[in-house]
Amino acid sequence: MTTPSNDSDRFAIGGDLTVNRLGFGAMRLTGDDVIGPPIDEAAAREVIRRAVDCGVDFIDTADSYGPGVSERLLGDELDSDGADSDVVVASKAGLLRAQNGDWLPHGDPDFLQNQVLCSLDRLGVDEIDLYQFHRPDPDTPFADSVHAFAEMKDAGQIRHVGLSNVTVEQLEDAQEIVDIATVQNRYNVANREQEAVLEACEAADVGFIPWGPLYGVDDDDAREVLTDIADAHDASPQQIALTWLLEHSDVMLPIPGTSSVEHLEANVAAAGLSLSDDEMARLDAIDPQ
């Protein structure tokens, strides 16, 4: 099984890293609540290998997943200098994990500079393909954090800079400092609060990575429409939700995450589906929450 490879199914991150638009999110390759190692590390490694075998060449992780666990697994499993050299790995910095599991924004430039060193070591690379500022920190000027990423790029530690959980204004402010390759905000068929950010990304040819791409599939307003269309395609509602994302925008880069090979294969198969204009219209008309 491989993902389709015609031009409409691919996107050039930063203009030079061309990937299949349906990627894989590696957050779930950790313990419960995204803390600590996975219960079955061999199974987690199998998911990584199967993703690559299925044609996935864009994998998203973060230093806070584990923390450090997801990055380390990817670094151990992927041969960045050999057979897996075409796999683009994106990571993030800018969140701390509290003992109670809370995600705490931390955009201090010194912290970010330390985190990129940790990410480079865990991933086993000299340069990270895409490094994203995970979340703006209300206690640190946004520009200071972005400048830290610009310095990482100038130092050759990262190839491209991405942002996550930002507004249109923050995207524009960051673009004044450094080229922005991607934005990762919450977005799915039942939640389109970030439509303006998506439109800004489309205008600038910036990749848009929707986190939580399968959230909302069971929402009342979405479930009936997704199920009806899924039945017509002998597919699942989750697959239709992913296909809708891919057909909704050419800059969309969904990264559904899972710790199951079965779910991974089902997600990848969504890239091979095609929706009619009428089906897209029905999905577009879902009242987002």
pLDDT in tens, 162-206: 999 999 999 999 999 999 999 999 999 999 999 999 999 999 999
- What domains lie within the chain, and their CATH numbers? 7-284 (3.20.20.100)
Query: Rounded to whole angstroms, how far apart are CA atoms 93 and 45?
Result: 23
> Residue 249: pLDDT above 60?
yes
Other Cβ atoms within 10 Å of 249 Cβ, number: 17
User: Is a pLDDT exceeding 60 seen at residue 4?
Assistant: no
Average of per-residue pLDDT values in the chain: 94
Report the SS3 class of residue 15.
coil
Q: Is the pLDDT of residue 5 over 90?
A: no
pLDDT tens for 40-72 read: 999 999 999 999 999 999 999 999 999 999 999
Mean pLDDT over 249-275 rounds to: 96
Q: What is the pLDDT of residue 166?
A: 98
Q: Is 215 a catalytic residue?
A: no
At residue 269, the pLDDT reads: 96
**From 65, 131, 187, 215, active-site residue:** 65
Measure Cα distances from 243 to 80, 123, 130, 238 in Å.
29, 30, 24, 9
User: How much is the pLDDT for 288?
Assistant: 67
- Look at the block and give the residue holding tokens 């890239």: 271
Of the pLDDT bands very low, low, confident and very high (cuts 50, 70, 90), residue 287 is: confident
Tell me which DSSP letter residue 169 carries. H
pTM: 0.95
- Model pLDDT, residue 2: 45
pLDDT band at residue 7 under the 50/70/90 scheme: low
Residue 6 reports pLDDT greater than 80? no
Asked if the model's pLDDT at residue 107 lies above 60, the reply is yes
Closest CA to 65 of 13, 101, 111: 101
- Position 127 scores a pLDDT of 97
Give yes or no for residue 98 having a pLDDT over 50: yes
pLDDT confidence of 1, banded at 50, 70, 90? very low
DSSP letter string, 190-220:
TB-TTHHHHHHHHHHT-EEEEESTTTTTTSH
Which residues contact residue 7 at a Cβ distance below 8 angstroms, ignoring those fewer than 6 apart? none
Task: Report pLDDT for 289.
Answer: 56
- 10 Å Cβ neighbour count for 111? 16
Distance CA 20, CA 18 (A): 7
Task: State how far the alpha carbon of 78 is from the alpha carbons of 73, 172, 289, in Å.
Answer: 8, 34, 38
Phi, psi angles (nearest 5°) of residue 139:
-95, 0
Q: How do residues 73-93 score in pLDDT, each as one tens digit?
A: 999 999 877 888 999 999 999
For 118-170, the pLDDT digits (tens) are 999 999 999 999 999 999 999 999 999 999 999 999 999 999 999 999 999 99
